[in-house]
Amino acid sequence: MRYWLMKSEPSVYSIDDLAKEKTAAWQGVRNYQARNLMRDGMRLGDRAFFYHSNCEEPGIVGIVEVRRLAYPDETQFNRNSEYFDPASTRRNPRWLNVDVGFMRKTRLVSLDELRRHKALAGMQVLKRGNRLSVTPVTAVEWQFVMKLLRRGTARPPGEDGPP
């Protein structure tokens, strides 16, 4: 199983929206690198952190799974969609999306908290100038964040508390 981090602006599509919908097409990705990661990297059952971006409290807010492999993003064909791409055709679609399924909400693991842990310093989402809406997460990074979640509340690195 592979691990990912997927960004969404909560004002556009939030973890609560997905919690209601259960499964959703991850539409609107208009970046070739992110598209290629979905197309070539994602497998059924892969897990991803749902990340709220461009908002008051950016950070991880939930966990989702890949429920359908990449297929053409319908919004690119829709003239009325903000994601419409006149250069894309049904025969030769340019943009793809996977379907993701809701697993659970998590407490907010804020961008600030992520940055405080050395173990996560390599996470792509933390790198300067990063703009990719889909990024790979290593198994080690995934497990580390899962441990933070199990621990419950935010705590500075190096401070061992009760289990």
Which position among 133, 137, 141, 145 is part of the footprint of DNA (CB under 7 A)? 133
Contacts of DNA in 84-113 (CB under 7 A): 111-112
- Interface mask toward DNA for 48-87; x: CB under 7 A: -----xxx--x-----------------------------
| Residue 160: CB minimum distance to DNA, A | 26
Do the strands 134-137 and 96-110 form a parallel or antiparallel pair, or are they unpaired?
Answer: unpaired
For the beta sheet containing 96-110, the strands, ordered from the edge strand earlier in sequence to the opposite edge, are: 23-25, 96-110, 59-72, 47-52, 3-8, 134-137
d(CA 62, CA 107): 8
Half-sphere exposure of 31 (CA within 13 A, CB side): 11
| Residue 129: CB minimum distance to DNA, A | 2
Contact set with DNA (CB under 7 A):
7, 9, 30-33, 53-55, 58, 111-112, 127-133
